[in-house]
Structure formats: structure tokens, C-alpha cells
Amino acid sequence: MTQKIVIHERHGALLDAEEVGTVFRLLSENLPGRTHNAKGPKGQRTPFRSAIACLLSAQSRDANTAKATEALFALADTPETILELGDDEIREAIRPAGLYNMKTKRIRALCETLLVEFGGTVPRTRAELMRLPGIGRKCADIVMHFVFDEAVIAVDTHVERVCRRTGLAQGVNAGKIAENLAGRAPDWALDEGHFWLIQHGKRTCIARAPKCPSCPVERHCLARRTA
């Protein structure tokens, strides 16, 4: 009979700075990090396409996001040409990604904001990226990291879960966790930390039935200390 793994997430509890460094070091020693086939957000080749793809990825599986972006960019792939499309055309193209009514409005608003406020060029800073409709902290950090090669750790559901459980960072939502993590992660870990945490969240620290006995950071994990 398989032993049930028990974890107790201690909300708000944090590892000290030394242990944060130790956890990142152990993850770096046990996970591949950035791989040769790591691509920009959803594999898109320009900052604009990356931003749109990230917007479409909200509450959408990667395969469905890929179908939606491919269909939309087959019609238009610049702010100007997308704004020439009718809402019905955009909705039908992005339907596989779900929430297509809301996302259609946000895509149109993003394109308009990009043209009016930024001359059609996707900005490079987090604050400016987050002024674009539909671009929150996670998408801004993903675009910064993959497109502009900035050393930042984007926080998705996997990273959020690992941070909460281990005590690497805490916050009321993913955005707050990202802020907390940015001030706690060692500088040397910022470039590949996004990859290590996602890989750990997908392979070991999974949402259900986490594989704690094989976890390289188990003895440093605050959730396991109280199990």
C-alpha cells in the first residue's frame, strides 16, 4: 500500500536567507534548468506576438493556446492589422483558448494602448508592460525574461505552489509572491530560477500526491517540517 504523503502549508512562513540559497542550489544540482529548446512565451518570435500569446494563455492549456495564436496570427500579427479585424473574426480565431469574449476585448485594448502610448513598440520595463490591458505581473515577467533576456523569475501556478510549500516566498496571490521572491532569491539564481521551480513543480512538488521522499529539498521544506 502506498504511503500517503502529508504536507502542511504554513501560510506566511518563510525560510531564512541561507536556506533560500540552499534550496536554489539543490534545485540547480538536480534539475536541467534552461534547456536548448526553451523558447519565448508560447514559442512566439516577436515581443508583440509574445505578449498576445501570453494574454491568450490565461486559463488555457498550452495546446489550446497554440491553436488560438496560430489562427489569430494567420489573420494578422501586428497591432495595426489586428485592429482592422472585426470582433467576430478575433473571437472565432482565439476560441480554442477559451474566455474568447473577454480576451477579444483585451487584445483590442492592448493593441490600441500599444499604438497610442508606446508608438506600437512593446515596452521593456515591468511597469510599462503592466500598463497593457491583459498583461499582469506574470506575463510581464515572462516577456521580460524570454524576450528581453532580463534576469527575473516569473511566477506561474507551479512556481507559486513550490514557493508557498517550501517557504521560499509568500503572498496573497502570485503577483505578491513574485514581489517577495524577487527580494529573496539570490542574484545568481535569477536567470534560471524560473526553470528550476517550474520543473520541480511539475516533476516532484506536484499539486496532488507530491513526491516528497524523492524531493531534493525535502528537509528544507517548511510544509514537510510540520507534517
Provide the CB-side half-sphere exposure for 108 (13 A, CA). Answer: 15
- For residue 47, the Cα-to-chain-centroid distance in whole angstroms is 16
Tell me which of 42, 67, 103, 138 is the catalytic residue. 138
Exposed e or buried b for every residue in 123-138, given b needs 16+ CB within 10 A? beebeebbebbbbbbb
Q: Determine the angle formed by the axes of helices 47-56 and 137-146, rounding to 10 degrees.
A: 140
- For residue 176, the Cα-to-chain-centroid distance in whole angstroms is 13
Cell of 190: 535569477
42: annotated active-site residue = no
- Asked if 219 and 26 touch (Cβ cutoff 8 Å), the reply is no
SS3 28: helix
Tell me which of 105, 156, 176, 191 is the catalytic residue. 156
156: annotated active-site residue = yes
Residues 6 or more apart whose Cβ sits within 8 Å of residue 24 = 185, 186, 189, 193, 196
Catalytic residues: 138, 156
